[in-house]
Every structure is written in structure tokens, then in C-alpha cells.
Structure 1
Amino acid sequence: MSQNSFGRPGQIRPGLAVSTLFALSLFATLPPSVALAADPQPTRKDSSAFIKPKEVVLSASVDPAEAKAGDVVTYTVTAKVAPGWHIYQYKANPKGDPTRDTYFDFFDPAGLKPVGDWTAAKKPIRKAEPAFNNEILEFYENEAKWSLKLQIPPGTAPGPKILRSQAIFQICDASSCKPPARSTLPDVSLTVLAGVGGGTNASAAASAVSTPPAGSEEKGAADEAALTSEVAQKAQQGLLSFLLFSAGGGLLALVMPCVWPMIPITVNFFVKQGNKNKGKTTGLAIAYCLAIIGVFTSVGVLVSFFFSATALQNLANNPWLNTFVALLFLAFGLSLLGLFEVRLPNFLLNASAKGEGRGGMIGVMFMALTLTITSFTCTFPVVGGLIVMAANGEFFYPIVGLATFSSVLAFPFFLLALAPGLVSKMPKSGDWMNSVKVVGGLIEVGAALKFMNTAEIGFGAVPEDAWFDASLVLSAWVGIAAVCGLYLLGLFRTDHDHDEVKIGPGRLLIGSLFLALALFMAPALFGTPPKSRLWDLVVGILPADVGDLDRPAGAGGPVANEGKSKATSNDPATAEREEKSVHGVVWGMSYDAALEEAKASNKPILIDFTGVNCANCRTMEQTVLNRNEITGLLSEFVTVQLYTDYVPIGSLTKEQREALAEKNQLLQIDLTKEATNPFYVALTPDGRLIQAIGGYRTPAVFSEFLNGALTKNKDQDKAKVAQADPAH
């Protein structure tokens, strides 16, 4: 994802919750005939005319303007800057707040393959910059030129090609700077002539290390997934197919761990509302359900459109937001335990008798917004494709799809919201209500620890060095489960309990289950986690270093970690090549290194687009990728993991890790038109897309995906050999 004009990736202006009405009005007024965008679009929309500086003029050209298939041409961007102003050097993925360095989004290379990276025509000026506290910076005055070599793939049909790119830049003078801007360059026309070119240009292209945008080369059945996401393909099949697919995604989301922390906070909120309103919470429950649908849809569409397709994922991983959510859960948990009373500020409440009702509605909206933001850490497969469509300016299908998806997601929360009202009608409901509050409060304190881990990672820690790591969080959960069980079985009472607590069948059963859960999770603290489907679910909501808990007894873990290595270099390109993890097989972290190895070994590439804070990614790593039948297939690939939230390489700075994550985000969107984690992409050894699949998948489905990719790669190899040697 690229940075926005005035802030860091994923930041949101205040008041987005109010945008619900706007999104719902669009849903009601947009005609079904709104078509999917046909032309490629930049990752982010151009800046408004008010932001684009008038002191710089950008142009683009290609040399030669006519070439044959196999030839290499040079695409050049020229920036002419007004006297007194300067534009900054090129960097592949600049970081900073705000953006200073120049870079490019080559969003439509028309099937041509980039060879190497952008190069400047001359060395930049290097001097202290007054506008940035006299920091030594590199920039150009008067005129700057950057060039990128492009190879026309062999076999390209003759005819015109239109090359399109976007420049992202900032200009400054001696005392001030213009806001960072994004500007799509004028179209550049290249004519592909009949015949076969190449010669020295072709050999130069073959020897260069490049990272071509796979899927933008040869048009064929194997490349279809690179052109449209799975959800976009469903939209092209018709509205009914699209709606069923979106609803199915909502059902799948209900079993994913990302939404689980909202279960206790929902129950606890409506317990408190039931106490205040004597159990009459049906109206608030309906409002909560509608708020989830409205906020999920509007935030998903509007944030993606105004910022980028990965803005919500970045926002969900924002350290300050996660700190706030952790403190919120902690405050609600301690309040339910009776330590203090959480009240909304007076200015949010009406002084009349309707004040409590208004406070309840504000709480409902706030909880709906919290559910929306926290759930985007899952980047559900259906949602991932829809927000990419919204980021490209499409509205009808994203609004309909997100509304359908969130309706299915919201329904169980509607039932949860009604539950406290039903409990209040039970015999001795006061005792039951207090038990629900105590247990719910303890669970919320446990949930707060996971959000503290996410915040700690966001502030710069790598998973294995975090304070709130998997061992600490799991220890707390084991203790909380044991305390809940002992409490429900009547072994102790709180200050708010009745003088004599009677243990009925309900409390006896639930208390026993809590104790069983504590005993179930405890062995994992000693290196022997249980092997069951329930543990697979627990893995998904534990911190990212959960794999370190699985150590073979008496071995200290050398077998499980064979091939794992930690980077020592502080150079990002080198560190990516040094860092290796193990999930069934050894996974690298450098896409360039994977391309090199694939070409040398003639193996296909498997990319795992993953995330440190991705619950479904942990579940796949711990329950699917390490299975014997899967590791055998994975060994046939060159495997590489590309993190899209934070790259967990301890030898790099926080800014460097974020820069690498942003590069991986852009690569994923370029390859798949998806913003989903995990997302698995199979490529040929020369970087062409074979097929892709996203989200948590069962071992059987994932095995079928890997076998299919291997078969397609072999078929393409045979076709290539036959084309090169027609006699055979």
C-alpha cells in the first residue's frame, strides 16, 4: 500500500462512523448495471488538483518507440522543476512522515517485463535540508530523469501498447514543502513490430535480476486469477452467484478467531444494559445488528476508496489503536468484576430520562466500530477482494457484497445480544447475571493481553522478543480458565455474590468445562501442545510466536527448527535473504532470492502472503503446512513467506520492516487483486502466475491446490519445450 497525502498508511479521519448513512444511501441508489472497472488503475487515486504542485511538470517517454518481441526498451520519466524548488531522489519503497522520496507505481506495463530497477540519469545533490531540521538529503534541481528498462516478452503480438504509470513525489524550497502528491503520467505509446527481436538486448534482460509483475505477461487461462480476484469473477457470473459467495464468506468468518474477542464484550455490554433497562434490550440488539452491517460496509468501502486497499489491514494493526482496544477491554473487564463503574462522558448523554437509552445507542455504535476494525486483522478472502474493488473506484458490488457478508456475520451477535435478556427471565436471574459478569470480566482481561501483543509488535518488537508473547498470554489464559471454573463451582465468592451460592446443573457443567479447558491448554506451556481441532482454534488467537511452544520432548526443538536462521545484516535486501523460518519446510523471506533459486532449480515458486497478526495464518502454519502429506508437496516448490503487516526480521529497524511490508502489499495486489491473508500464489520458475488460493483451507483442499499447481507447471513446461522444438 502507498502512503496517503497527509499521514501514514491506513490513518482515518474522524467521523467515519457517520459515513454509514452515506454508504447505505449508495446501496439504495446505485444501479445494478454498474460495471467492473476494465482498465488497470494505480494502487491509489491521484491527488486532487489542489494538492498537485504547479511548480513541477512531469512527462514520460519510451525509446525506441518501435521495437520487436524480445527487444528491451527504455521508459523514462522527466520532472522539470521551477527555479528555487527541488524534487527528491528515487527510492523503491520510501518511508517517512510525510513522504519525501520519489517513487513510481507502474500500474499498466502492457505486458512488458521490468528489467532491474529505476535508475537516475545523474547523481543527486547532497546537502543539509532546512525544511527537515538540516537532515542530509539527496534531491534534484531544475530537471530530473529516471529510467526503467522493459522487455517485450517473446511471442508478443504486433500492435500498439500503452504504458501507464503514476509518480509519487514531494517538492520543497529552502524554507517550505508542498504536500506529497500522486500524479498519473501521460500515456506513452509503444508499437510492437512484426518479427523477432532480441539480440544483445535479450541477453541483457535474461542476465538481470528482476521482479516482474507476474500475471501481466502472457494472456492465458493460467493468468486469469491475476486479472480479477475470485469475488470479482463471481460478480461477472451474475448477482445471485455473487450474493451466495458473499454469504458463504460470512459463514466462514464466524469460525475464524478474529471475531471471538467480541463475543464476551457483546454479552457483557448487554448484561449491563439489561440491568439498567430491566432486561428490555431487544431494541438495542436490533440496533447493534444493523450497526455492524452499516459500519462494516461503509468503513470497508470508504476507507478503501479514500486511502487504499490495505488501509484497513494497516489500521487494524495500528499500535495505538490496539493499545486503546486493550485498555478498553481491560477497563470493561475490571468494571464487570466490580472494581469501578465505566460511564460515558456526560456530554454524550442527554440530561433527560432518555439519557440511558442514548448512552446505550452510543455504546452500540462504538462496539460495531470495534468489531469492524478488529475483524479486519483476518482480512477474510471475500472481503479482501471487495476492498480492492472499492479502492479502484467500484461501488455497487463492494457495497452489496460487504452488506451481505456482514449481515451473516452480524446475526450470531444479534442472538448474543438477546441472551442477557433471556438470562434475566431465568429463576434466580440475579445470581446468574452476576456470574456472567464475573466470568465475562475475566475473559475480557485475557483478551486484552492479545491486543497488547499486537500493539507491542506495532511499536517495533519482533514476535519472539515481545513481552506479551505466546507463553505469557497462554499462561494467563490457563490461570483465568482455572479461576472461572473454581468460581462457578462455588469454591469462592466475590463481594457481589449472594451469601449462599447454590450450584445448579448449569454452573456445575460450565465450571467443569472451564477447568477442563485449563487442563487442556496447560501442557502447551511445557512444550507438548495437545493435538486436536480445539487446539487448532486456540493457536489462531495466540501471539505469532505460538510455534515456539511446540518443542519435541527432550530435544529442545532442534528437529522442529532445522533450517531456521535469523538475519544479522541491517541491510534489508541482505536480511531478507538471511532470514528463514520453518513451517513444515524451510521458507525464505526474499522474493528476489526465490526467483533466482526457482530459475536455477527449475522449480515453481509458492508465495505465502502472510502477517504477524494474522490469526488464520497461524492456524495454517501450525495445523496444515506441517502435515506430512503437505510437506511432501511443498518440497517440490521454492517456498517464500512475504509479510504484509510487519516483517519480523529483528536485525532491521521498525521503518525498514514497514517498508518491506509495504513492498509485499503492493506485490500481492499486483499479482492477485486481493488483500487477503493468508494468500497462497503459485508461480512458474520465470515468475508467471499458475494459480492462487486464499484464506484458511483444510489439508485436503490445500493439497489439491498444490497438486494442481504442480500439474499446471509441468504442462506449461511441456508446452514451452514443444514450442521451442516443433519437431518433437
Structure 2
Amino acid sequence: MQSLNRWIEAGISGSEFTFQTVILLVLGGLMASLLPCVYPLYPITVGIIQARGESGKNKLFHPLVYYFGLSFMYFCFGLAAGISGGAVNTILRYPITNLFLAIVIFLLGLASLGYLHLPIFRSKEWQGGDGWKGTFLLGMGAGFLSSPCVGPVVVAVLIQITAGIQTVTISSLALSAFKMSLFGFGLGLPFLVLGVFGLSLPKSGKWTKWIQIVLGLVVVYFAWLYYAKAMQLWSVSLELSLSILAAAIGILLTAYFYQSSELHRCVKMKKALLLTGLICSSVIFIRLASGNSLGNFQKDVLEEHGNLEWHRTSNPAFELAKSENRLVFVDFYADWCSNCKAFEELTLSDSDLNQALGKAVLLKVRDDDKDFLIYEQDSRFPELKIGLPFFVIFSPDGKVLFKTTNYLNTADMIRTIRGENIHASGE
């Protein structure tokens, strides 16, 4: 599950762009184009393009203009999301933000599955002018009209795209806009094919419903990712996180099926959600009123990589280091950072480094951890404001012995851990 999480997150979010990114986004758009609510747009598209094709121009001209108009609308969505990228990345370091996003995306998932009606996703009439400009505007209109239908999927993808943006730059804006364009290219493929060849449409049936279910589950999966991040930031173990989630889902399902079968499923789900929210809010209020914070479920969390165990919270790591008189090796990590992942592999493949790390208390601080903000605001670590990776070795009492941004500088790391070459900084 963890590998799948990283594969999807790395493919959509972050500052990197790979073939995997293209496949995920184009395929996601193509699947979204097969939703039942997009289906009615197809005959309209064929009629528009055929009418405009009678002007004598190449049969491929208007379908392509229409296709790029549709994709351009999603380019605009990505551009707008990229502008807020830096802010999104900052607020995603707070657990309450991740929990809020998990709830919102879960509601979007229920809407995708047809169990909840969200009035914010409503279509409006759209008309364009004549000529290629009119065709382009009509294509944008098709993108706009399809966005309410695929809105839950689009919102989930947009959040993933903006999550990896550290600072808003021209390149980050261009990348986020282009990524969303890829989703639009996939979504517009059936429109292009129908416009060029004028194929007869197969009847909408169970196969379109299965597409709707798959996409709805994809959106729900995104909700799980943010829920897991929130629990991780609160230092809640995976087992306890799953137990809490299972209890909430159990309440939701019980409240849903307890109602009369004569009620519409959207009405039943709305009432079930309200009851579940009331119960969960009451439990949280009682816990806070008793003087226990949400983050005291578990004092320490360990993350295993091969034979190495990495602490995920600072205080337990430094307490252990002080009690056993061991150094603390801190790896500042992010899923979008390719060199961070290269170093992670190096810790297992380099026997000397692996052996040295085994003698230290290991701490991994991710860019979306609450501890990351504390280190970032520490005047001793200006490197964190520039980028990752970044590595620091502390003495048992918290003194900085070594730091570097070079993940290949393993020789100095090893010497510092062994006590052979202790200094305050390294490059």
C-alpha cells in the first residue's frame, strides 16, 4: 500500500515530470470522459463539428480546434491551481488541513459514486461564435460543461498537483498547467475521435456505471491519502488510524442502512453523514475537554527500511539518544525529492553507511511533518528554505556536529558518526 501511495503521489504531484505522469493524467482524463454524465455531450459535439465542417475546410481542422479548446479549459484550471501552489504546500504541513481535505475529498468521492448531490457542480448553457474562434470557444465550453460532471475527480487531481509546489514560479505554474492539460487531453480524446470520424455512439449502460464506480473509488483513495497524512502528523499509529476509520465508516453505514429504503440514496447518505459527523465531533470535543490533545495517541512512530529503523517524531528520538549516549542522524525527506529517494536506497546498498547508521538514532523528517516547520524556522538550518535533501547529525544533547545538502557525501557522514571527524558543517 505504501509503495502504491508513493507511486501515485510521485506521478501526479511534485516538481518532477516523467512518463509515469503522462500515463496517469491522460488515462485519468480518458476514464473520466466515459462517465455517464459526460455521455450526453458527445452527440452535441458531433452535431456542432459536422455543421462547422460543412464550410469546406479540412475535416480534421474543426475537431482539432474543438479538442484544443477543451484541453485549454483544463490548462486554465491548472494555472489557477498553480498560483496557489506554494500556499497549499505550506498549509498541508498541518494535520488539521489534511484531515479537512480528506473529508472534503471523501464527500467528492461519494458524489462521484452518485450517493451525494453537491449543488456546486451544476452545468450551464454555453454558446460560441462562428469560425475557428467559435469552435475553440465551444471546445472550452465543452470542457466547462464536463467539469461539473468530473468535478470531484478534477478537484482531487488539482490538490495532488499543487501539493508538491514549494514556491510559485513561472516554471511551477507552467508545469501545473501542463499537467492539468494532460488530463484535458485524455478527457477530450473521445470528442476528437467522434468529431473526426463521426462514429455511432454505443448505448450507455452498465459499462459506463463501472467507469463511474472506478473513478469514484480513485477519489476516495485520495481521501485516504490525506487522512493517513493527518494521522501521521498527529503521531497516530497505522493500526489505530485504521481502527478510527473503520469505526467512522461503521457508524456511517449503520446510519445509512437503518433508514427507510423508500428514501432516495442521496437523502439517506446526507442524513447518515450528519449523524456520523455529530458523533465524531462529540468524541473529539470530549477528548479535548478532558485535557488530552489529539496528538497524544502514541509517543513514538517507527518507519522501517531494510534493517534500519527511522523515528518519525523528534522528541522520542532525542530522548533515546540522550539515554543511550548516541548521535542523532536526521534525514529531511520529501516524496517529490529524487535525491532523497536516491539516498534512501544508498542507506541499504552502501554497507559502510548502513553499518554507521546502525550505531546512531535515526530520524526522518518529511516536508509535510509538523516537526519540519520547527526545523525550518531554526536559524541554524537556512538550507531548509532552499530545498532538499538535507542531512544533520546531532550530538546526544542536541548540538549540531555536521550538516550537508550533498547526499553523496557519505564519507563525512560516516566519519562524524564514528567520531573520527566531528565538525559543524559539511558540503
Change in CA separation of 1:436 and 1:594 when aligned onto 2, cut-off 3 Å? same
Change in CA separation of 1:720 and 1:691 when aligned onto 2, cut-off 3 Å? closer
Deviation at 1:286, TM superposition (A): 2.9
Q: 2:393 aligns with which of 678, 683, 699?
A: 683
Aligned to 2:256: none
Aligned to 2:144: 361
CA distance in 2, matches of 1:343, 1:436: 26
Aligned to 1:372: 158
CA distance in 1, matches of 2:154, 2:218: 17
Residue type of the partner of 2:358?
S
Matching of residues 164-183 of structure 1 within 5 Å = none
Change in CA separation of 1:296 and 1:644 when aligned onto 2, cut-off 3 Å? same
Residue type of the partner of 2:330?
L
Aligned to 1:635: 358
Q: Deviations over 1:260-318 (max 9, x none)?
A: 867743664765643543386515423234214421322125x36xxxx6125559953
Whether the 8 Å contact between 2:74 and 2:143 is mirrored in structure 1 is no
Whether the 8 Å contact between 1:680 and 1:692 is mirrored in structure 2 is yes
Aligned to 1:81: none
Change in CA separation of 1:375 and 1:573 when aligned onto 2, cut-off 3 Å? closer
Q: 1:664 aligns with which of 372, 390, 394?
A: 372
CA distance in 2, matches of 1:718, 1:679: 24
CA distance in 1, matches of 2:27, 2:79: 20
Name the SS of the counterpart of 2:221 in structure 1. helix
CA distance in 2, matches of 1:468, 1:572: 13
Whether the 8 Å contact between 2:321 and 2:327 is mirrored in structure 1 is yes
Q: Deviations over 1:144-202 (max 9, x none)?
A: xxxxxxxxxxxxxxxxxxxxxxxxxxxxxxxxxxxxxxxxxxxxxxxxxxxxxxxxxxx
Deviation at 1:400, TM superposition (A): 1.1
Q: Does 1:415 align with 2:179?
A: no
Deviation at 1:416, TM superposition (A): 0.9
Q: Deviations over 1:481-516 (max 9, x none)?
A: xxxxxxxxxxxxxxxxxxxxxxxxxxxxxxxxxxxx
Matching of residues 145-224 of structure 1 within 5 Å = none
Change in CA separation of 1:404 and 1:316 when aligned onto 2, cut-off 3 Å? farther
Change in CA separation of 1:574 and 1:323 when aligned onto 2, cut-off 3 Å? closer
Q: 2:170 aligns with which of 397, 400, 418?
A: 400
Deviation at 1:605, TM superposition (A): 0.6
Aligned to 1:274: 42
CA distance in 2, matches of 1:713, 1:637: 10
Judging by fraction of residues, say which structure has more helix: 2
Whether the 8 Å contact between 2:105 and 2:219 is mirrored in structure 1 is yes
CA distance in 2, matches of 1:266, 1:463: 35
Compare relative contact order (CA 8 Å, sep 6+) and give the higher one, 1 or 2: 2
Aligned to 1:711: 412
CA distance in 2, matches of 1:709, 1:321: 39
Aligned to 2:57: none
Change in CA separation of 1:709 and 1:595 when aligned onto 2, cut-off 3 Å? farther
Larger Rg: 1 or 2?
A: 1
Matching of residues 20-31 of structure 1 within 5 Å = none
Aligned to 2:302: 580
Whether the 8 Å contact between 1:423 and 1:432 is mirrored in structure 2 is no
CA distance in 1, matches of 2:97, 2:19: 22
Name the SS of the counterpart of 2:331 in structure 1. strand
Whether the 8 Å contact between 1:453 and 1:469 is mirrored in structure 2 is no
Aligned to 1:446: 217
Residue type of the partner of 1:402?
S
Matching of residues 105-184 of structure 1 within 5 Å = none
Q: State the TM-score, normalized to the length of structure 2.
A: 0.54
CA distance in 2, matches of 1:684, 1:299: 35
Whether the 8 Å contact between 2:332 and 2:391 is mirrored in structure 1 is yes
Whether the 8 Å contact between 1:603 and 1:638 is mirrored in structure 2 is yes
Aligned to 1:329: 109
Judging by fraction of residues, say which structure has more strand: 1
Q: Deviations over 1:429-454 (max 9, x none)?
A: 52397687344213113213323434
Residue type of the partner of 2:372?
N
Matching of residues 27-66 of structure 1 within 5 Å = none
Q: 1:249 aligns with which of 4, 10, 16?
A: 16
Q: How many percent of aligned residue pairs carry the same amino acid?
A: 11
Q: 2:239 aligns with which of 456, 464, 473?
A: 464
Deviation at 1:590, TM superposition (A): 3.9
Deviation at 1:469, TM superposition (A): 7.3
CA distance in 2, matches of 1:351, 1:289: 16
Whether the 8 Å contact between 1:607 and 1:642 is mirrored in structure 2 is yes
Aligned to 1:349: 124
Residue type of the partner of 1:607?
D
Aligned to 1:673: 384
Residue type of the partner of 1:664?
F
Change in CA separation of 1:665 and 1:675 when aligned onto 2, cut-off 3 Å? farther
Aligned to 1:589: 312
Deviation at 1:420, TM superposition (A): 1.6
Change in CA separation of 1:582 and 1:640 when aligned onto 2, cut-off 3 Å? same
Q: 1:607 aligns with which of 331, 348, 355?
A: 331
Matching of residues 374-523 of structure 1 within 5 Å = 374-377=160-163, 379=164, 383-384=165-166, 386=167, 398-424=168-194, 430-431=201-202, 437-454=208-225, 456-457=227-228, 458=230, 462-465=237-240, 466=242
Whether the 8 Å contact between 1:285 and 1:418 is mirrored in structure 2 is yes
Change in CA separation of 1:626 and 1:255 when aligned onto 2, cut-off 3 Å? farther
Unaligned runs of 5+ in 1: 1-246, 387-397, 474-569, 646-660, 694-704, 722-728
Name the SS of the counterpart of 1:249 in structure 2. coil
CA distance in 2, matches of 1:341, 1:276: 25
Residue type of the partner of 2:124?
L
Deviation at 1:683, TM superposition (A): 2.7
Could you say what the CA RMSD is over the residues aligned between the two structures, in angstroms? 5.4
Whether the 8 Å contact between 1:423 and 1:429 is mirrored in structure 2 is no
Aligned to 2:90: 310
CA distance in 1, matches of 2:376, 2:364: 12
Whether the 8 Å contact between 1:332 and 1:342 is mirrored in structure 2 is no
Q: State the TM-score, normalized to the length of structure 1.
A: 0.34
CA distance in 2, matches of 1:254, 1:282: 21
Residue type of the partner of 1:401?
S
Name the SS of the counterpart of 2:16 in structure 1. helix
Whether the 8 Å contact between 2:384 and 2:390 is mirrored in structure 1 is no
Aligned to 2:279: none
Residue type of the partner of 1:635?
G
Change in CA separation of 1:666 and 1:273 when aligned onto 2, cut-off 3 Å? farther
Change in CA separation of 1:374 and 1:573 when aligned onto 2, cut-off 3 Å? closer
Residue type of the partner of 1:417?
L
Q: 1:265 aligns with which of 28, 32, 43?
A: 32
Name the SS of the counterpart of 1:587 in structure 2. strand
